[in-house]
Structure 1
């Protein structure tokens, strides 16, 4: 039985590491969001995080389309990872025909013609482009969304305007600072998920991604 070449196994291992790290960041954000939504229920601050959560969910699917996350579960099958490599080969420079299929996967394509392979590969590349476009759209929408700074400023100033004693005023200011800090931590975690799953890795190169999108 043919086995995966070393380069393929190493690339797949790295992909699993990136996917696992994204999953961990995603789970951390969901916990933070649930906590912050309880604190800020029925306020503008909660509405912002609810919208951010919707885009984080979209970004998860977009990362799957772009090939950065497995389509199901936490790991790629060999075939799915090969298709991921095709998704990332957006200019069709590496995988142009059946002859580029690694030997250990040839059986998966034994009934395919070159035309079948090229059409399937283009569908995968188009899905990847759509995934990147979806991530970019989510980032643009959230960049245009008011960040609730006015809400926290009003909250910060309200005790003073209400004539609170100096000691209570100082404690109220600390309380608002703590609330704002927790909200910002959740916001930062969510916005970071609106990028490809390798965003926090040394592999991430926004300029390269932009260039690939134009090809």
Structure 2
């Protein structure tokens, strides 16, 4: 299905590790108020294949071309799932963007450490963010109460996913945009810039923590709307 020239009114949102789809509420409400049809994927964080399958399931339900959006680990997911014929463009929200044949873990090589972003890995191989470091590492610009709720509601990720290579890189074929939080403590800034520039993404920066999908929902929504307006014609 060619999406060129069609008005894009569908948006599909994919959350990242240690979170679920509820953090997209602000983006959902802002975009639906502007007339977009928004779907939020609940990925299981159990494997790259499982997360891509969950995303594909939602993409299959779209009634026309869509903008596919991923936060953090969700960026790896949309990089693979974005080959879906309904996807007209990609938006990376402080997100990972590996190339075909690369693992997510490889994206960190050569970049600075993130001492506030501490993952506690259990005997079963699933990781949670450290209780005491959670706000500093993930959601520094939220209130203490909001950060505590996000911490206490976090969803663990199977750490093996970071060693799974991506088979395809949709950003090589689809126009891309990136929103990068300048106060992100989960990734080195140089790493985020490198991935976005390699993908040829149009980059927007915003002063925010890694939880920018929640705290900067207005900026994120505006970039998604811009992507929807421009991807229809194949522009960036």
Identify the TM-score tier after normalising by the shorter chain. under 0.3
Considering Cα pairs closer than 8 Å and 6+ residues apart, tell me whether 1 or 2 has the greater RCO. Answer: 1
| TM score, norm. by length of structure 1 | 0.21
**Larger Cα-atom Rg:** 1
